[in-house]
Structure 1
């Protein structure tokens, strides 16, 4: 509803004592003042709403953690029980009602963008509540029990940090009990992970349940403690840690292990499709809206995938011709998967190679970006307890996690593309610029919208061609393999979740089209099965950015500056694709200038 004050309505009608007439200068001035007042009032109400909700949201998530960084520090873990979930649903429903009363058209330009971004966030949160997504709090890639491990590997600076951590360890039994009860409720209504994706996923639980004393993962922060903590305090904290591990951590993980092995896995569903879940068609469509930020049909996405796979296959054949390979495409993939020249011999060799690529990339930043962040990132191996089922690499604000497990499955020819995606100019650069931009509200600085974030990172792989980052034909083929991998995801995700594909069909499709190792093919397909819709965000996001770049190049001609275009994309924080499209349209209208100057973004 578009609300107007009585004063602004009267001024809009232009009524005076002599009837309908053109407003006088005084009336026009009063109208402008009233319009400003109305806009200020709308902006103030909107800011008060999102500020209050964001503060509350952060409190709800306090104590949580994952590989991209933790939630707000707390002496407890998040509450996940049904009563809390119902409270959250009611809260966000009320927020949406209040948002409906904010006249978007009367907001200043910058807040009209904020409104679109914020509303999409709330709608996604409510979709997850509507489908009771908390009853399936893990997938084949990520789980609540493994996320706690990132807290254990974190950095602690003071005795208070350690005390909060110890309180979290004491809260693990309650947290796991609530998660188990939720998972049991999901099982009862057929809302579970597919059984086929669960094989071996309990090992990460067993690793903690079976490790005693200082060998336990959760003792890690106590092995090296800051010198600012006195020896007496250190000794006391270590003693408390050992007690918490034996009294809380190990019993909780042991109980979870029994539940997974004796109850969850045997009762997990034997179907694969997201559309086979309760209210599955609507659920999968909601997942598409979340991860693509557009309401697209599975059939439409499937066809885009098929078209892009065919296009990329032709480009891959060109590289085969360049290196003079005379065999079939399948034979060439076998060659790439098995020839020792393409594989590191030690984990450190793989890490060193990635570091060289990342440092080489640093030399390109000034030619392609007008602004770069102060935040730096490090490169670390994926922890041993996660590595067997983890992706080849994953990046965030300050860490590029590189998987050194099973080196014969980690080809060097894909490492340039992987490194550009996960570190710079991909995830680390984008997330750092957003976090450092204090002109954006926090809900744009610190949230992650997959179509934008993954689309940007995949676009950075494309950008590597222009930067000269692929130095051999095999690295160019590795780049194309990564593009093919993401295009094939469009086909596989919609095939599995909407068109009745089997796991074997999905494995064969990826195996036949991309030069990924068998290990990666298996872990990736299981991730798509267990996480409906997430795999769609990458390629569709990249296609959007590429389309917008070509549009800007055509419209601006010689005035097009690639640095300014990238600044325009990155100045937004994390946003839905329609918001990005509108921003680039404005970038064109403004003559292609960099948006880092003052003004709405």
Structure 2
């Protein structure tokens, strides 16, 4: 019987060399991401570094990834074992997606501010330069008539003012003679606070007087030149498929109709904490045999204007405790399954505990506005898993009626 040359310990010299090269390229990519996008990795604390927002930087990043892709393409898939083939395919797609997306750099990437995103650094020293670069990009978007839609800027000014009042204004108040302020003065930090505050003021003035008046009024990306092509590129980025916009729209309508038929607002309210503890303590073993059950921290959303039911980020499940939010059992149970265990938290914890390349272990966020000029987040997989986790509620016996299911 002929022995499989890909069995562990029986690689030929070329395949061993190729595997080592893959590991080196994976680590090279990881180090590149940490350097170019400080703070973008959820499990890495690099917010003291500055992320650059210039067209020159975008072009340099594209060229660096193009060189990396060239090295990746030199490797022969046929010489590898099954798992290494998968690793190489993922690495190639990851970098190729970024390089391909540079074609659309003059679209969303010119608009770093919206109602979900904005300041990308918490370091006072770097804030003024970062804001200056972002304003330069947005002025370019105005000239090209590729700004955000007006609805994308809702509450942006208010949020910016709140950040100024909360993080900067107290240290600049003449009535503040605290020891902390004097300590900042001694260290020269107070000057950095002043410069950051002035940059915020200029940014606010720009947004109010220039950018928001220039936002697109017509709905849909088709209102900008080649907007349909841009939309298709974004759709491919998120789904990794060649699905057309019309097909995606019909699929979405079908899914909304399916879910709407299951809604029963008269179901008894169940507290999120109770559901979460039940899932963690007794039920995960019924669907994931002998896998470690990662604990998740539960914290309330205190922003009264946040209308979301909840969200997950960096091992924390945030639940909206606003009494006006509808939290019937029909909504609460799927929310817990989707965001915590066995959804996003379980998914991310599992990946982080496995022997995966570091660029895949950590959740990487460069900003939604840059899509499709970004590294793939595989949205269809991430959210697809969370949706699958909701269905697992049936196997865990959490849905008591056919309407719950």
Name the TM tier (shorter chain). Answer: 0.7 to 0.9
| Partner SS for 1:365 | helix
What residue in structure 1 maps to residue 393 of structure 2?
464
What residue in structure 1 maps to residue 61 of structure 2?
88
What residue in structure 1 maps to residue 13 of structure 2?
37
| Partner SS for 2:324 | helix
What residue in structure 1 maps to residue 276 of structure 2?
358
Q: TM-score, normalised by structure 2?
A: 0.82
| Partner SS for 2:156 | coil
Contact 1:136-1:193 within 8 A present in 2 as well: yes
Q: Give how far 1:210 is off.
A: 3.5
Q: Please give the alpha-carbon distance, in whole angstroms, between the structure 1 residues aligned to 2:28 and 2:234.
A: 27
Q: Give how far 1:378 is off.
A: 0.8
Q: Give how far 1:46 is off.
A: 2.5
Greater relative contact order (Cα 8 A, min sep 6): structure 1 or 2?
Answer: 2
Q: Does 1:56 align with 2:32?
A: yes
Q: Does 1:449 align with 2:368?
A: no
What residue in structure 2 maps to residue 172 of structure 1?
127
Q: Does 1:144 align with 2:60?
A: no
Contact 1:194-1:270 within 8 A present in 2 as well: yes
| Partner SS for 1:369 | coil
Q: Does 1:134 align with 2:113?
A: no
Q: Please give the alpha-carbon distance, in whole angstroms, between the structure 2 residues aligned to 1:177 and 1:207.
A: 20
What residue in structure 2 maps to residue 107 of structure 1?
80
Q: Please give the alpha-carbon distance, in whole angstroms, between the structure 1 residues aligned to 2:52 and 2:170.
A: 28
- In structure 2, do the counterparts of structure 1 residues 211 and 307 end up closer, same or farther at CA, with 3 Å as the change threshold? closer
Q: Please give the alpha-carbon distance, in whole angstroms, between the structure 2 residues aligned to 1:257 and 1:39.
A: 56
Q: Give how far 1:176 is off.
A: 0.9
- In structure 2, do the counterparts of structure 1 residues 200 and 115 end up closer, same or farther at CA, with 3 Å as the change threshold? same
**Deviation string for 1:101-148 (max 9, x for gaps)?**
2112222211111122122211332244321142122443x2122x55
What residue in structure 1 maps to residue 332 of structure 2?
415
Q: Please give the alpha-carbon distance, in whole angstroms, between the structure 2 residues aligned to 1:392 and 1:41.
A: 50
**Deviation string for 1:27-83 (max 9, x for gaps)?**
xx9xxx997122223223322222212211111112x35xx8364425322112222
Q: Does 1:254 align with 2:254?
A: no
Partner residue of 2:219 out of 266, 272, 291: 272
Map residues 202-601 of structure 1 onto 2, 5 A cutoff. 202-211=157-166, 215=170, 236=183, 243=190, 246-315=193-262, 336=265, 353-362=271-280, 363-373=282-292, 375-384=294-303, 388-389=305-306, 391-405=308-322, 407-413=323-329, 414-437=331-354, 439-447=355-363, 448-471=377-400
| Partner SS for 1:364 | helix
Q: TM-score, normalised by structure 1?
A: 0.57
Q: Give ranges in structure 1 of 5+ residues lacking alignment.
A: 1-24, 152-167, 217-231, 320-335, 344-349, 481-601
Q: Give how far 1:208 is off.
A: 2.0
Q: Give how far 1:292 is off.
A: 1.0
What residue in structure 2 maps to residue 490 of structure 1?
none
Q: Please give the alpha-carbon distance, in whole angstroms, between the structure 1 residues aligned to 2:192 and 2:321.
A: 28
Q: Give ranges in structure 2 of 5+ residues lacking alignment.
A: 172-178, 364-376
- In structure 2, do the counterparts of structure 1 residues 392 and 268 end up closer, same or farther at CA, with 3 Å as the change threshold? same
Q: Please give the alpha-carbon distance, in whole angstroms, between the structure 2 residues aligned to 1:355 and 1:235.
A: 44
Q: Please give the alpha-carbon distance, in whole angstroms, between the structure 2 residues aligned to 1:175 and 1:272.
A: 30
**Deviation string for 1:254-301 (max 9, x for gaps)?**
222111111111001112223434432222222112211222112222
Q: Please give the alpha-carbon distance, in whole angstroms, between the structure 2 residues aligned to 1:468 and 1:34.
A: 46
Contact 1:127-1:286 within 8 A present in 2 as well: no
Contact 1:434-1:445 within 8 A present in 2 as well: yes
| Partner SS for 2:341 | coil
Contact 2:164-2:200 within 8 A present in 1 as well: yes
- Higher helix proportion (structure 1 or 2): 1
**Deviation string for 1:419-457 (max 9, x for gaps)?**
1111111111110110111x2111221244321111111
- In structure 2, do the counterparts of structure 1 residues 427 and 313 end up closer, same or farther at CA, with 3 Å as the change threshold? closer
